[in-house]
Amino acid sequence: MTTLVIGAGLVGAQVARILIEAGERPVLFDTAPQAEALAEHFDPAKAAMEVGDILRPLTLAAAIQRHKITRIVHTAANPMLTLGAQRDPYAAINLNIMGTVNVIEAARAFGIKRVVVSSSNVLNHFVAGGDGSNDPMRETAFPRPTTFYASTKQAIESLGLNYARWHGIEFAAMRYGAVFGPWGGAGGGGPSNVMKEAVRRALEGEEAVLPAGAMEWVYSKDAGMGTVQALGAKDLGFGVFNITMGVLAKPEDMAAALKSAIPGAKVRIETPAAAAVSLPDMKAVSDLSLAKKTLGFAPKYGLVEGVKDLVAWMKSRKS
Ligand SMILES: NC(=O)c1ccc[n+]([C@@H]2O[C@H](COP(=O)([O-])OP(=O)(O)OC[C@H]3O[C@@H](n4cnc5c(N)ncnc54)[C@H](O)[C@@H]3O)[C@@H](O)[C@H]2O)c1
C-alpha cells in the first residue's frame, strides 16, 4: 500500500503525518515542497518527496510509476483558495478542475482505484438560488455556487462521481470546513491565515482580530483524519462527505476559545478586509451523519481544543 499525497500544505502535511504514524511511507507530490514546514510534522526520512505538477501529467505518471502508487489523496490548491480564485479565475479553474481530471485520469491509466480529493464546504455555504424546488425541468431547479472557487469544487465533485459511475474509480470528495491548524509554510486559505494571525497577535500581547460572522471550522488534524478514513473505508457509498467541527462558531465563541488558551488575550471582532469574501456569515451547520456512518468520522477537536493545540504549537516553535 503506497499513498501519493498530492499537495503538501496545511492539510496534506497532516494526511502524511497520520499515514506515517500508521506505519506507511507516503509519497508527497508538490510543485514547491516546503521542506522545513513539513519537517515540523513528521520525520522527512519517513516519507518520499516528489517535485511535480498535476498540470504536467507526465510528472504525475512518473511519480506513480516510480513509487508503485496504489491510492491517491489530492489536496493541491491554488494559492489563497477562494480569494485567489476570485482574483484569477482562469488559474483556479485550470488547476482545480483540469488538475483534478489529470489526477483521476492518471489513476485510471495506472489501475489505481481509490482517489480522495479535497472539496470544500463552501458548497454548503456559498450557494444561492434553487427556486425551482429541485425540479430539473426548471432552469432554476438547484442552488448554484456564488464564487469561482466553489464552482470549481462543484465541478470536481460532479466529475469525480461520474468517474466512479462510469469508470470504476472509488472516488471521495471531502468537504472540509474552514481549516485552521499548525502550519509554518505558505498556503492555507483566508480563514486559516486569519486564525493564525489572531493567535500570533494574542501571544504577542497585541489585539487579535476575529471575523464578525459565524463560521464552520475544522481543525487540520481532523481534516487529515477524515481524509485518511476515506482512503481506508471499505465502501464509500455516496462519496461526498462533510468534514467539519459540526458546529457553527459565533465570533464570541472564537473569542472565548482564544481567551481560554491565552488568558488575558485582547480581542476585537471585525471581518478583516483582505479575507472578507472567504469569511461569510454562515447560517447553518453541516450534517456530519454520512461521514460518521460511512467513514467513522467524528471530529476530535472543537474550537477550544483546536485553538489550544494551535497555541501550544506556536509557543513550542518560539522556544
Ligand atoms: N484551507 C482551508 O480552509 C480549506 C477549506 C476547505 C477546503 N480546502 C481544500 O483543501 C485542499 C488543501 O488545502 P490547503 O489549505 O492544505 O492548501 P495549501 O495551499 O496549504 O496546500 C496546497 C499545496 O498544493 C501545492 N500545489 C499547488 N499547485 C500544484 C500543482 N499544480 N501540482 C502539485 N501541487 C500543487 C502547493 O504548492 C501547496 O503546497 C485544497 O483543495 C483546498 O481547496 C481547504
Q: Residue 279 has what pLDDT?
A: 82
- Ligand 1 centroid – CA 225 distance (Å): 16
Task: List domains and CATH numbers for the chain.
Answer: 3-181+218-245+284-300 (3.40.50.720)
Most informative mutation of 5, 6, 29, 31 for ligand 1 (most atoms within 8 A of CB): 31
Percent helix / strand / coil, the chain, rounded to 5: 45, 15, 35
Residue among 140, 128, 143, 173 at smallest CA distance from 280: 128
- Ligand 1 centroid – CA 162 distance (Å): 23
Q: Residue 243 has what pLDDT?
A: 98
- Ligand 1 centroid – CA 67 distance (Å): 22
> Residue 190 belongs to what H/E stretch?
helix 190-203
Ligand 1 atom 5: residue of nearest CA: 178
Q: How far apart are CA 13 and CA 38, in angstroms?
A: 6
Q: Is 36 in contact with 246 (CB distance < 8 Å)?
A: no
**pLDDT < 50 stretches in the chain:** none
Q: Residue 280 has what pLDDT?
A: 81
Eight-class DSSP state of 251: H
Q: How far apart are CA 217 and CA 215, in angstroms?
A: 6
Maximum Cα interatomic distance, the chain, rounded to a whole number of Å:
62
Q: Is 40 exposed, middle or buried (0-12, 13-18, 19+ CB in 10 A)?
A: middle
Q: Residue 152 has what pLDDT?
A: 98
- Ligand 1 centroid – CA 110 distance (Å): 24
Q: Cα angle at 318 between 182 and 189, to 5 degrees?
A: 25
Would you tell me how many other CB atoms lie within 10 Å of the CB of residue 72? Answer: 26
Q: Residue 35 has what pLDDT?
A: 97
Q: Residue 272 has what pLDDT?
A: 77
Q: Residue 276 has what pLDDT?
A: 77
Q: How far apart are CA 75 and CA 33, in angstroms?
A: 13
- Ligand 1 centroid – CA 9 distance (Å): 6
> Residue 210 belongs to what H/E stretch?
strand 207-210
In ligand 1, the atom with minimum distance to the C-alpha of 55 is 31
Residues ≥6 apart with Cβ < 8 Å to 160? 100, 104, 115, 117, 169, 171, 173, 239
Q: Is 233 in contact with 226 (CB distance < 8 Å)?
A: no
- Ligand 1 centroid – CA 192 distance (Å): 12
Q: Which residues line ligand 1 (CB under 6 A)?
A: 6-12, 30-32, 53-55, 75-77, 81, 95, 99, 118, 120, 176, 178-179, 187-189, 191-192
Q: Residue 190 has what pLDDT?
A: 86
Ligand 1 atom 2: residue of nearest CA: 179
Q: Residue 273 has what pLDDT?
A: 75
Collapse the DSSP code of 157 into the 3-class scheme (helix H, G, I; strand E, B; otherwise coil) and give the result: helix
Ligand 1 atom 34: residue of nearest CA: 30
